[in-house]
Amino acid sequence: MSTTEEHRTPVSLSSVTADSPHMQPAARNPERVERWTAVLLLLGLLGFIGFGWAYWVDATPWILGATMGAGFSFVGIAVVAWGKYLMPKGPFVEERHDLRSSDAEREAFAAAITQRGGGVIKRRPMLGALLGGGLGVFGIVALFPLLRSLGPLPGKTLERTDWKKGSYLVTQDGRRVHVDDFLINEVATVFPEGFEETENGQAVDQTIIIRLDTEDFVTKKGRESWGPAGYVAYSKLCSHLGCPVGLYEQSLQLLVCPCHQSMFDVTIGAQPNFGPAPRPLPQLPLFVDKDGYLRSQSDYLEPVGPGYWERS
């Protein structure tokens, strides 16, 4: 057998002595590797000192990160080189032992579980049933307060918003919208007056208002009175996943949801014509009061936002 061959034959750790070839470092020239490793460790040390200095003088974050990163990287490469080139090269071999136990052990184990354990329960079926019953009841009883106190029941919450008969349309800073405020194709996000006081107003009441014409605008049959003076209002909650439908494509008169690119044609009742949204955005019926302010005729006539089980 050649010497090279001898080195490549894996041996067990317990069979080698400190001077056997397997215990020699893997590097052909260990002194050189040691020198380079020392250089790297020194650079790492300098990196950490630099990190301390950078922290002390409150340097900008990238200097903090660069010094720390340099410290760790140099030390890391040095330690890997130390392990790879300067430690026993082996290869070593270890025998696998069967994970499986002997037949006798397996039988004894199975017997212990089924006979010693199972026997105890089988012999006292009533105790077992009572214990199981008691813990079961606790489990079910505990489930109720645990779940129930996490939140209120949905009830009709999802079907309503804070829009009421006669609610003033206000912008996010609380200013009422007047019929003369908008030019054609102008868009704004509006809320019912007083929305700041409600817990979820910002989220559920958000409505997008677009002026499409100077005359009354009809988006659909049966909505003849909903778009006074060309103003139409739709829920801003996307019917797909509830993102705010925040983009208005003026030339095509499309509302676009930036999340998943559903598009709604505002001239025909926000009917979706592209993307994953399954339903039109609900339209808010408007009227102009005698002072010229825009107000809602009622709440939305259908739930706003994404679909859910109870929605009919």
Candidate residues 18, 126, 150, 183; the one interacting with another protein per rule CB under 8 A: 150
Q: Out of 172, 214, 225, 298, name the contact with another protein by CB under 8 A.
A: 172
Helical pair 61-85 and 30-56, crossing angle rounded to 10 deg: 160
| Residue 228 makes contact with another protein by CB under 8 A | no
Sequence-ordered list of residues with C-beta below 8 angstroms from that of 299, at least 6 positions apart, any chain: 160, 161, 163, 164, 165
Length of the chain: 312
Q: Is 265 left (phi over 0), alpha (psi -120 to 50) or beta?
A: beta
Single-letter amino acid, residue 58: D
Does position 260 interact with another protein (CB under 8 A)? The reply is yes
Of the candidates 262, 280, 263, which has an alpha carbon nearest to the alpha carbon of residue 271?
A: 280
**What are the tokens at 91?**
């290869």
Element housing 150 (H / E): none
Among 274, 277, 197, 264, CA closest to 232: 264
Contact pattern from residue 31 through residue 70 relative to another protein, giving x for each residue in contact according to CB under 8 A and a dash for the rest? ------------------------x--x--xxxxxx-xxx
Among 204, 209, 233, 255, binds another protein (CB under 8 A): 204
Query: Which residue number, 139 or 151, has a Cβ lying nearer to another protein?
Result: 151
Residue 203 binds another protein (CB under 8 A): yes
In three-state secondary structure terms, 179 is coil
First to last CA, the chain: 84
Q: Shortest Cβ distance from residue 143 to another protein (Å)?
A: 11
Least distance to another protein, CB of residue 308, Å: 4
83 binds another protein (CB under 8 A): yes
Return the structure tokens found at 5: 């061959």
Q: Is 23 in the site for another protein (CB under 8 A)?
A: no
Which of 152, 173, 183, 197 touches another protein by CB under 8 A?
152
Those residues whose C-beta lies under 8 Å from the C-beta of residue 122, and which sit 6 or more positions away, are none
- Nearest approach, Cβ of 99 to another protein (angstroms)? 6
310 is a site residue for another protein (CB under 8 A): yes
**21 belongs to the binding site for another protein (CB under 8 A):** no
- Between 159 and 213, name the residue whose CB sits nearer to another protein: 159
- Among the listed ranges 78-86, 119-127, 178-186, 224-232, the one in contact with another protein (CB under 8 A) is 78-86
For another protein, the binding residue among 30, 194, 230, 242 (CB under 8 A) is 242
